A = this chain, B = another copy of it.
Amino acid sequence: MGFGGIRTARELAGKGFDVTLVDRNNYHLFQPLLYQVATAGLEQESIAYPVRAMARGWAGTRFHLAEVTGIDFDAREVRTNNGTIPYDYLVVGAGSVTNYFGLESVERHAFDLKELVDGERLRNHVLTAFERAVVEPDPAKRRALMTFVIVGGGPTGVEFAGALIELVRFVLAKDYPELSVQTARVVLVEAFDRLLAAMEPPLQVYTLEKLRSMGVEVLLNARVVDAGPERVVLHDGAVIPAHTLFWSAGVKAAPLAAALGAAPRPGGRIPVEPDLTLPGHPEVLVIGDMAYLEQDGAPLPMVAPVAMQMGIYAGSSILARERGGSLPPFRYRDKGSMATIGRSAAVASAFGMKFRGYAAWVIWLLLHLYYLIGFRNRIVVMLNWIWYYWFHERQVRLITERERAGGQ
Chain A residues in contact with chain B, CB under 8 A? Answer: 24-27, 43-46, 48-50, 52-53, 56, 62, 64-67, 80-83, 116-117, 127-128, 131, 134-135, 174-176, 178, 374, 376-377, 379-380, 383-384, 387, 393, 395-402, 405-408
Contact = CB atoms under 8 A, between A and B. Distances in A.
Looking at chain A's contact residues, the main secondary structure is mixed
A400 B43 CA distance: 13
18 contacts: A24-B405, A26-B399, A27-B399, A43-B46, A44-B45, A45-B398, A50-B398, A52-B175, A53-B175, A53-B397, A65-B128, A65-B131, A82-B407, A83-B135, A83-B406, A116-B400, A376-B393, A379-B383
Copies of this chain in its oligomeric complex: 2
A81 to B, nearest CB: 4
B380 A26 contact: no
A135 B82 contact: yes
Contacts of A374: 395
B116 A395 contact: no
A65 B27 CA distance: 33
Contacts of A175: 50, 52-53, 56
Contacts of A131: 26, 65
From A24, A48, A50, name the one whose CB has the most chain B CB atoms within 10 angstroms: A50
A406 to B, nearest CB: 4
Contacts of A377: 395
Contacts of A395: 45, 49-50, 53, 374, 376-377
A8 to B, nearest CB: 21
A396 B53 CA distance: 10
